[in-house]
Copies of this chain bind each other. A is one copy, B any other.
Amino acid sequence: MSTLASQLQQMERHHSVFENEVRKLPLPVCRIFGAEHQPSAVSFTATGQILNSCDAQAVAERFAQTVKASGNAVLRASATVARISGKRVAALFSGGPAAGGHNVLCGLKKMLGANNTLLGVKGGPKGLLQGKLFEITEADAANILNTGGFDFLGTDRTKIKTPEQFDQVRKVCIEHQLDAIVIIGGDDSNTNAALLAEFLYSGIKADGSGVQVIGAPKTIDGDLQVPGLLPISFGFDTATRIYAELTGNILQDTRSSLKYWHFVKLMGRSASHVTLEVALQTKPAVTLISEEVAERKLSLDAVVDMIAQAVISRFRTHGHKHGLVLVPEGLIEFIPEMNALIAELNDVLALHTEGFAATAADARIEFVAGHLGAANATLLRKLPAYVVDMLLAERDSHGNLQVSLIPTEQLLIDLTRDRLKAIAPDVPFGSQHHFFGYEGRCGAPTLFDAAYTFNLGLTAGALILAGKTGYMASISGLENGGEPLAIPLTGLINIERRHGKDEYVIEKALVRTSQPAMQYFVSRREAWAADDVFASPGPRQLWGPAAHQMPMTVALNEGAASLLFKIGA
């Protein structure tokens, strides 16, 4: 075999040039931890801040042991302490993957050190129920450091909620002699962590003690954040930087090829943080923010009109036949009239299942319209066939519409084209559409996500060594060396009515139009629409002068002085 062929073969199994080099990249750690290679264990003390949700009393009853112990007080790392030994800690990924998960494991491993044991759980919460645990070695950690994805362990979306499941977790804890579990996941997974922390609080081990549970805040959607305490969930920076690079590339293409409007849909069904961040990074002509559409009660027509006016004005003023529209995945549900239509459709289809099934395919729209209120019937008849098909398609297991199947970007293109034909037939409108989703979940972490998650892992490990349970690890003070925090999970929990039942949930943090990031966007968007002023933020850099950036929405909302994050420095 040639020299080159043998070099190439050695790059299999995560040994590309990049992966080999990025494993050697040093990571900064929060000042209190000391050095990356030998971080100190730390003690935690109350910051004085108490978190109480509006359902605090009910939460204090449901989570009696953990609330009693924590008092819902936020903790900060306060002093270095000697490292205890002999703990057995299991860690698992839960929900969709996000960049940096591997570094949480690496940080955990580093903090636990050689005299405690870190176990990995294969395949998420389901794997925990099945007892799929194995020991994570130093070599494993070195191999996954700074790599993307959750592929070292795998993940799944099982929710641990039935009494039988809780009992099964208890059995696994006993069988594997666990002292603690770290759950790396989003809002639902951290709610699960709170439930588990309470269930496992005491009486699990032979001596009557419990098993600690610590959460780590993950989600590319960025909807798990607490102002001043949790600047952002991990994975958001990497995903948005990937989407921003691609969007920036396409913006340069629009102005190079001079003939298309590109409609780019971005992952994120609930919150528009991802779309807002990508807009701030790239400055496209039009950006739709779901929460603002809902707040301003915009109709579908009004949204289409905004786009059409931008197309017309750019053509009339500059002769531009090109532009770019950013669309959040969940937009449809935030348009009040569409939301009302979908809600009534859910009811009608549930009530008239048999009649609907007995109706011929081409008569189904009228069958359903006949059962809708007048406004909803009119709206339904106005929508293109491929959207109506989706609106009438099979519901998910909760009886809900599968919104992600609606091609919102195509709908907006078609409605904009129709509108232009009606009001400005001389304005050319060629279009292309894109959906960026899976591309951003498992990319190699940015330096921000890599450092943030390594420190989240150190913090989670330190909380376990300090005997804490029911907390979420966080790093604040991103401009000032980084401060490890512990947020009491019960302080984030509210009661929400889901499918006719009260459920304890950590509420998703949506974009608020009063936030600095949103206000900055609003102050600039007219200039961005009027003519090309876009930027193309390029591929994420792990080395060199362009590597140290935090997300723009985070920097604005946290009142940072610049985009530079400074952990450890």
Which residues of A are at the interface with B, using a C-beta cutoff of 8 A?
Answer: 2-5, 7-9, 11-19, 21-22, 93, 96-97, 123, 147-151, 154-156, 242, 245-246, 248-250, 252-253, 255-258, 262, 280-281, 283, 432, 434, 438-444, 516, 520, 523-524, 527-528, 532-547, 549, 552, 555-556, 559-563
| Interface CB pairs A-B, < 8 A, 14 | A2-B559, A4-B556, A16-B538, A17-B546, A19-B535, A148-B252, A149-B249, A150-B256, A154-B255, A253-B441, A262-B438, A432-B438, A443-B538, A544-B544
* A442-B252, A535-B11 given; A17·B257 CB < 8 A: no
* A249-B441, A438-B434, A543-B543 given; A536·B16 CB < 8 A: yes
The 6 closest A-B pairs by CB, nearest first: A543-B544, A149-B252, A18-B538, A150-B256, A151-B255, A252-B442
Chain B residues, Cβ within 8 Å of A245: 443, 539
14 more A-B residue pairs beyond the given contacts A147-B536, A150-B257, with a C-beta to C-beta distance below 8 A:
A12-B527, A13-B533, A14-B536, A15-B535, A16-B538, A17-B546, A18-B546, A19-B537, A97-B257, A156-B257, A249-B441, A250-B442, A253-B441, A544-B544
Give the docked Cα–Cα distance between A523 and B3 (Å). Answer: 15
Chain B residues, Cβ within 8 Å of A17: 537, 546, 549, 563
Name A257's contact: one of B2, B155, B250, B533 (CB within 8 Å): B155
Q: Are A246 and B563 in contact (CB under 8 A)?
A: no
Chain B residues, Cβ within 8 Å of A16: 248, 281, 535-538
The minimal Cβ–Cβ distance linking A521 to chain B, given in whole angstroms, is 10
Q: Write the chain B residue with the least CB distance to A561.
A: B3
Give the docked Cα–Cα distance between A154 and B561 (Å). Answer: 37
Chain B residues, Cβ within 8 Å of A527: 12
Chain B residues, Cβ within 8 Å of A281: 16
Most buried by B among A5, A14, A97: A14
Q: Are A541 and B18 in contact (CB under 8 A)?
A: yes
Q: Write the chain B residue with the least CB distance to A439.
A: B246
* A537-B16, A540-B539 given; A249·B555 CB < 8 A: no
Most buried by B among A12, A536, A549: A536
Name A18's contact: one of B2, B19, B537 (CB within 8 Å): B537
The minimal Cβ–Cβ distance linking A553 to chain B, given in whole angstroms, is 11
Give the docked Cα–Cα distance between A18 and B548 (Å). Answer: 10
Name A543's contact: one of B147, B154, B257, B545 (CB within 8 Å): B545
Q: Are B249 and A439 in contact (CB under 8 A)?
A: yes
Q: Write the chain B residue with the least CB distance to A523.
A: B5
Give the docked Cα–Cα distance between A147 and B147 (Å). Answer: 27
